[in-house]
Amino acid sequence: MKDIKFKSGDRVLTAQLGSRIEKKALYGYSKKVVEKDGRILSRGVLCPDGRLLRRDEISVVKMDPEGTPVGELQTEMNGQPAEMKPSALDIENPLTPVSLSRLADFVVSDVYPIEALDLTPGLYETEFSYRKSIQPKEALLLVKGAESYLLVGVSKQSAFVGLDVVYAFFDEEDTEAEGEELDFSMV
């Protein structure tokens, strides 16, 4: 558990951010294990000279075309150098109350339980990034009584017209095509 701070109006609230809820914890998972003579086999890479490198022996190094290691890369956005924003665990995250209907337009990628949060039940909008990043993700804080969850993801743009969906193109008859004959010589 790590401390996370939220700012709602004049109040600064400190809460406990739990571990991310994984899909395998909710739905379970299976693991494929390959054995030979009672030993568990692992993946690796066979080098051209016949040596075998285990997967944990391989690392990534960024190099220029001459083979010299490259220093820190600089990221640009719209032609300007992008600045790193601090982790949500290092700052006071502003909360903005939003309507519960906002959940219908939100695609959740990560869920974090929040403990010891004294906040009025409802839905709040904020940003979240576990580590320093250039662009934090959108987040919604769902508070329901004693339970609170931080939902991290992106908003999708969808238009809800009503509860009924009319598929007129399946129901209508095409009266123009009935009288015409097909002429295969034109093909």
- Give domain status of residue 70, yes or no: no
The answer to whether residue 132 is domain-embedded is yes
* Residue 99 covered by a domain: yes
The two tokens of residue 114 are: 């929040």
Residue 25 lies in a domain: no
Q: Which domain holds residue 141?
A: 1-19+76-175
Domain count within the chain: 1
Is 46 a member of any domain? no
Cα 87–93–96 angle (5° rounding)? 145
Nearest-angstrom CA–CA distance, 10 and 63: 49
Which helix (H) or strand (E) is 168 found in, with range? helix 168-171
Q: Which residues on neighbouring strands pair with residue 123, listed in sequence order?
A: 98, 142
Q: Kindly report, residue by residue over 27-69, the tens digit of the pLDDT.
A: 888 888 888 898 888 888 888 898 888 888 888 788 888 878 8
Within a domain: residue 150? yes
| pLDDT value of residue 80 | 86
pLDDT in tens, 131-184: 998 889 999 999 988 889 999 999 887 666 666 655 555 545 555 555 566 666
Residue 22 binned pLDDT confidence (cut-offs 50, 70, 90): confident
Region of 78 (left: φ > 0; alpha: ψ -120 to 50; beta: rest) is left
